Each structure stands twice: as structure tokens, then as C-alpha cells.
Chain A
Amino acid sequence: MPVQGNYQGSSFFELLRVDHPHLAPDLSAWGESAVNFGAGEVPHGTTVLTMKFGDGVLVAGDRLATAGHSVASRDVVKVFETDPYSVMAISGAAGPCIEMARILSVELEHYEKLEGESLELEGKANKLSQMIRANLPAAMQGLAVVPLFAGYDTRRKTGRLWKFDITGGRYEEGEFDATGSGGLFARESLKHGWAADLSRDDAVKVAVAALTAAADEDRATGGVDLERGIYPIIKVCDRNGHSDASEQEIAACYRAILDARAAGGNL
């Protein structure tokens, strides 16, 4: 602080770029080095999903990160609370993804402190899309960041969710979405289980089923790991803000699926 910077606005991302460039992630530099390094050696996050339900939105992600054909981490966190009413889930190159989630959460808090009120949910999604766009050079080299963003819109009194593409394209979805290597299978499962007026508990069940389906079909997705006690992260966001589904609850949902399978069910 002894020396005041040049940037006078309310964006933390811009503040870093203007006054502290050594701290701002130079996302394009990651792209160049990826060519030499090989994007396959960088840890990648796999399946994340989000859906609306009766009272708000739910966001879930498995815990596995892979580097090529190896497991990079079994208990990585891919679902982040970016502020009291929004959640971001990441898939793609883990390093830039986690950094982006971290900056976004500081960004939202920074804006709120400077302006005295928080951004609208749509404004938050828009900010994220600008950050993804800044990552485009890296994405072209294989370090794509493909997040999902969801939250509770306190003005419209409803849950909302967005998906993004690597160019920063932002698409609001009305029902559910999933991305990452197992995203296709998770979406198929959600298609069967989802309904607009699901209760919170049923939404958690549908989410666990979708992650299990993704883990079944995609070797890079972790699912529920009862042996090691590693559970997916499932966050619910409604008018009261965030809450997490407990490990016991997720384990119970998963056991019900295993029981149904053991009984010959087609799950």
C-alpha cells in the first residue's frame, strides 16, 4: 500500500493485470509451455455436473484428477463456493482451473467490498466468461478450462446455471448440464432422473446416480470410493446460501445403487 497503484476500478482481475502483473496468471504463457511440456502430463479434472431443482441448484463433482493414463490425485476438489450464493465447478487442466476459481472468488468479494453490494448472478457468470476468454491461447494448446457456474439468483428467486466453451461462450441452461470426460454419460443419466420440482434429497440422489454412471463408463471419472472413503463433493445452493451434502448421505445414496445392482437392477 505505501505506493498506490494506477488501477482505480472495482475488478480484482484487472487490478492484478495493471498493478501486479507478476501475480496475474499469464494464461497465454501456459499455452506456449504446454506445447513443449505436453498437455497430457498436466493433471486434468474430469466429471462435474449441475442441475436445477425445486428450491435452487445443485453442483457436484467427482474427486479424481488424471495425467494422461495415470491418476494424478484421488481427492482433488473441483467444486468451489465462489461467494455465498454461487458455485463454480471445473473440468479440464486442473492448474489453470483452480487458479480461475480462486481469482473469481476474490473478484466477487473484492467487488462487493468496494461497491458496497454484490454483483448480480448474471454479472458473475459474465465475469467468468471474460476470464475464460483470456485463457483462449492456452486452451488452443490443450489446457482448456471448461467450468460450470451455478447459483441462486436472489432477485429472481430461482436457481440458474451456465455452461461455457473454451472461447468464453456463455450459455444459460434451463435444466441441467455436465462437462468433463464423463460429462456425456452423466448427462444421459441426468436426463432420466431429472425433474424440475425435485426435492433437495432427490436431487442429491440423482446427482450420485449420474456420477456413478459417469464413473462406470469413463475410466477417468472417480465416482464414489467406499474403500478409501473418498466421496464426491455435492453443494446445494438455495435462498439460504450454500450447504454440502454429507458423506453419510452420499454413501447411503451410493449403497442404494449397489443394492439395486446386486438385486439384478439395471443400474
Chain B
Amino acid sequence: MSMPFYVSPEQVMADKAEFARKGIARGKSIVALEHQGGVLLMAENATSLNKIGEIYDRIAFCGVGKFSEFDQLRKVGVRYADTTGYAYSREDVRGRGLANAFSQVIGEVFTREIKPLELEIIVAEVGDDRYEDHKSNSLYRIKYDGFISDHPGFVAIGGNVEEVESVLKNDYRDGMPAGEATQLGRRALSAGAERSSELDAGSLEVCLLDRERTGRKFCRLSADEVQGMLDGS
């Protein structure tokens, strides 16, 4: 007769966390920073598989780790946001609610399934000048176990995140112009990429949540536009 092994819950969780962390550290980093005109999202990504995507009018999503997993999660987010916005009003779709819902889904998988999701995500929301209680931007980071945190100013995930964060901590200041924020984002990502030269515009995926746009605030920049931002125009 076989005896079932006893494994302590602590051990199970630690093993799962270790497994997820390994998967995530293999990838490259993504940063999100607030600037004068909204939120800038930047990833080192020369492929056509996007790591940054639009969820709703004011909300964007970035993921690191296993592409199929975070892209699936992004789609779940779009379905959730579009359904909520359709059932209520477009203004009722808010970053915090969405981030909490993501956190629940990821946390559920972490506790229930054998294999945790190998991903970490950012939910970014740009503020709305029309409403007193919604003026500020929000950046949420959600980890592989569903742990959610709120980051004023900037946030980085994936890859060599400590190096990236240390550049951001040193050089970030509130209310930077978009061009300066783009340069800082590139500097931070280049530090994480451990290379001697800086990343060029073609190997960056850059998206904006632009306060000034009407309706949907999300826009994806072409390599030329990124170069323009880096050159400070």
C-alpha cells in the first residue's frame, strides 16, 4: 500500500513561486512611467508579438513571461472591460477594478493549479482631467501569485528588474516631458539588458496613454515616432 507523501503548504507555495520567478526572469523588462502628457509604456521587444496592449479607453496592459499566458490574460481583460462598459457606462471601467480582477484570476491559478502562471503584468490607467476624483494616473503591478501593488511615478517588471529600477529611482522626476521620459525609459531598459550600447528605436515597443487624445487614449508608436521622441522632438 502506498503512503501519500506529506508536503507542507509552505513548501508547495515556495516551489511554485520559484518556478514562476525563473520563467519571468528569463524574459526582458518592461517599464511604465508617468509623464506630463500621460503614461509611457516601453518594452525591449523587436518582434511583432506585442507585449503592450490596449484594454479600454484609459487603460493599458503589459506583460512579461510566457507570451501565450499573458496574451490570454489580456484578452480576458478586454472582454471584461468591454462587457462592463457596455452594461454600464464607459466611465465605469476603471483601472483599479480591472487590476483587482486580474489579481484574483492570477491568485486563483496560483493556489489551485499545479502550474502557476509564469507572468507578471502592469495595468496602467491615465487620469481624467474632467473629474476631480480621477485626475491622477495609476500604475498597478501584479505578480505571478496575484500580489498586487500600486506604484506612483514608475514601475518595472521582468528581466533584470533591479537594474532597471535603480536607474528609474535615480533619474525619475514628476512631470517630465514625454521626450525625456522616453529617454529615461530607454536608459533604464538598456541597463537591464546589460549591453554596452543603448537600445535603438527599432528594438523598442513603445505605447502611450495620451491624456490629450479624445476617446481612446492608447496609441502605439512606430519606430520613426519613437526615434522622434528620443531625439527630443
Residues of A within 8 A of B (CB): 1-2, 4-5, 7, 12, 15-16, 19-20, 23, 102-103, 106, 109-110, 113-114, 116
Task: Say whether B78 contacts A110, CB under 8 Å.
Answer: yes
Please determine whether B85 and A1 come into contact, CB atoms closer than 8 angstroms: no
Cross-chain contact B83 with A113 (CB below 8 angstroms): no
Which B residues touch A7, using CB under 8 A?
79
- Return B195 CB to nearest CB of chain A, in Å: 29
Contact call B75/A1, Cβ cutoff below 8 A: no
In contact, A23 and B86 (Cβ under 8 angstroms): yes
User: Judging by beta carbons under 8 Å apart, are A113 and B53 in contact?
Assistant: yes
B-side contacts of A15, CB under 8 Å: 79, 82-83
Ordered by A's residue number, 30 sampled pairs between the chains whose C-beta atoms are within 8 Å are: A1-B76, A1-B77, A1-B80, A1-B98, A1-B101, A1-B104, A2-B105, A2-B108, A7-B79, A12-B82, A12-B86, A15-B82, A16-B83, A16-B86, A19-B83, A23-B83, A23-B86, A23-B87, A106-B85, A106-B86, A109-B82, A109-B216, A110-B79, A113-B53, A113-B55, A113-B78, A113-B82, A114-B75, A114-B78, A116-B50
* Across-interface contacts of A109 in B (CB, < 8 A): 82, 216
Most chain A CB neighbours (cut-off 10 Å) among B75, B77, B83: B83
- Tell whether B154 is near chain A: CB-to-CB under 8 Å: no
Alpha-carbon distance between A102 and B90 when the two chains are bound, in angstroms: 12
Given contacts A1-B79, A2-B105, A109-B216, 4 further A-B contacts (CB under 8 A): A15-B83, A19-B83, A113-B53, A113-B78
Decide: A1 and B105 in contact? CB cutoff 8 A: yes
B87 contacts across to A, CB distance below 8 A: 20, 23
Interfacial chain A residues near B82, Cβ < 8 Å: 12, 15, 106, 109-110, 113
Closest chain-B Cβ to A57's Cβ sits at a distance in Å of 21
Tell whether B165 is near chain A: CB-to-CB under 8 Å: no
Which residues of chain A have C-beta atoms less than 8 A from B54's C-beta?
113
Which of B78, B102, B105 is most buried by chain A, counting CB atoms within 10 A of its CB? B78
Residues of B near any A CB (own CB < 8 A): 50, 53-55, 75-80, 82-83, 85-87, 98, 101-102, 104-105, 108, 216
Residues of B within 8 A of A110 (CB): 78-79, 82
- Number of residue pairs A-B, CB distance < 8 angstroms: 50
Q: Which residues of A contact B85 (CB under 8 A)?
A: 106
Chain B binding site: helix, strand, loop or mixed by DSSP?
helix
Complex Cα–Cα for A172 and B18 (A): 59
CA distance A12 to B79 in the complex (A): 8
**Do A4 and B86 touch across chains, with their CB atoms under 8 A apart?**
no
Closest to A115 in B: B75
A20 pairs with B83, CB closer than 8 A: yes
B187 CB to closest chain A CB, in angstroms?
A: 29
Least distance between B151 CB and chain A CB atoms (Å)? 22
Chain B residues with CB under 8 A of A102: 86
Q: How far, in Å, is A229 (CB) from chain B's closest CB? A: 24
B116 CB, min distance to chain A CBs, angstroms? 16
Per the bound structure, the CA–CA distance linking A43 and B105 in Å amounts to 44
Q: How far is the CB of A240 from chain B (nearest CB, A)?
A: 14
- B78–A2 touching, CB < 8 Å: no
Return the contact of B104 from the options A2, A20, A103 (Cβ within 8 A).
Answer: A2
Known: A113-B54, A114-B78. A1 touches B102 (CB 8 A): yes
Residue on A nearest B107 in the bound complex, by CB: A2
Is A4 touching B76 in the complex (CB atoms < 8 A)? yes
Q: How far is the CB of A62 from chain B (nearest CB, A)?
A: 25
Q: Which residues of B contact A4 (CB under 8 A)?
A: 76, 105
Closest CB in chain A relative to B59 CB, distance in Å: 11
User: Of the candidates B50, B86, B101, which one forms a contact with A2 in the assembled complex, judged by CB atoms under 8 Å apart?
Assistant: B101
Q: Which residues of A contact B53 (CB under 8 A)?
A: 113, 116
Q: Which chain A positions have C-beta within 8 A of B108?
A: 2
State in angstroms the CA–CA spacing of A103 and B82 once bound together.
10
Q: Identify the interface centre among A4, A7, A16, A102: most chain B CB within 10 Å of its CB.
A: A4
A19 and B75 alpha carbons, distance in the complex (Å): 15
Chain A residues whose CB sits within 8 angstroms of the CB of B216 once the complex forms: 109
Which chain B residue lies CB-closest to A12?
Answer: B82
Task: Pick the most buried of A2, A5, A20, A102: most chain B CB atoms within 10 A of its CB.
Answer: A2
Cα distance, A116 to B76, chains bound together (Å): 15
Residue of B nearest to A24 (CB): B86
> Contacts of B98 on A, CB cut-off 8 Å?
1
Q: In the complex, which residue of chain A has the Cβ closest to the Cβ of B87?
A: A23
Q: Write out the residue numbers on chain A whose beta carbons fall within 8 Å of the beta carbon of B102.
A: 1
How many angstroms between the C-alpha atoms of A20 and B50 in the bound complex? Answer: 29
Q: When chains A and B are docked, how far (Å) is the Cα of A110 from the Cα of B85? A: 11
How many angstroms from the CA of A15 to the CA of B84 in the assembled complex?
12
